[in-house]
Amino acid sequence: DQQVKQNSPSLSVQEGRISILNCDYTNSMFDYFLWYKKYPAEGPTFLISISSIKDKNEDGRFTVFLNKSAKHLSLHIVPSQPGDSAVYFCAARESGTYKYIFGTGTRLKVLA
């Protein structure tokens, strides 16, 4: 039972344009959401997070949007850079627990 889903396994974007990565979840008890970036043979690196009491959080080129009614979150990267090419994972934590559940990842390729 995949509680966190990233339905697009890959995405290609031109340098300078916006990258939009999507994530859907099924568990209404999730209250904290995160995005990670991962290069091959390395551990994931934390990018940005959002609490369920908010619907938007920005950090530089990265913005995360949360739509609780649709159980959907997205990561916007503007402008996209070639160094952003990596696999992006969304994750969610269930309220009252310490469990972080990850999606299957989306491979982003930013074309120069």
Partner 1 sequence: SQTIHQWPATLVQPVGSPLSLECTVEGTSNPNLYWYRQAAGRGLQLLFYSVGIGQISSEVPQNLSASRPQDRQFILSSKKLLLSDSGFYLCAWAGTVDSPLHFGNGTRLTVT
Question: CA-based angle 46:108:25, to the nearest 5?
Answer: 60
Among 27, 57, 102, 109, binds partner 1 (CB under 8 A): 102
Q: How many angstroms separate the CA atoms of 27 and 48, rounded?
A: 20
Residue 103, interface with partner 1 (CB under 8 A)?
A: yes
Q: What is the x/- site pattern for partner 1, positions 34-73, by CB under 8 A?
A: x-x----xxxxxx--x-x----------------------
Contacting partner 1 within 8-37 (CB under 8 A): 32, 34, 36
What is the four-CA torsion angle of 9, 53, 43, 83, rounded to 10 degrees? 60
Q: In the chain, what's the furthest Cα-to-Cα distance?
A: 44
**Shortest Å distance, C-beta 112 to partner 1:** 26
Q: How many angstroms separate the CA atoms of 52 and 20, rounded?
A: 20
Residues that bind partner 1 (CB under 8 A): 6, 32, 34, 36, 41-46, 49, 51, 89, 91, 98-105
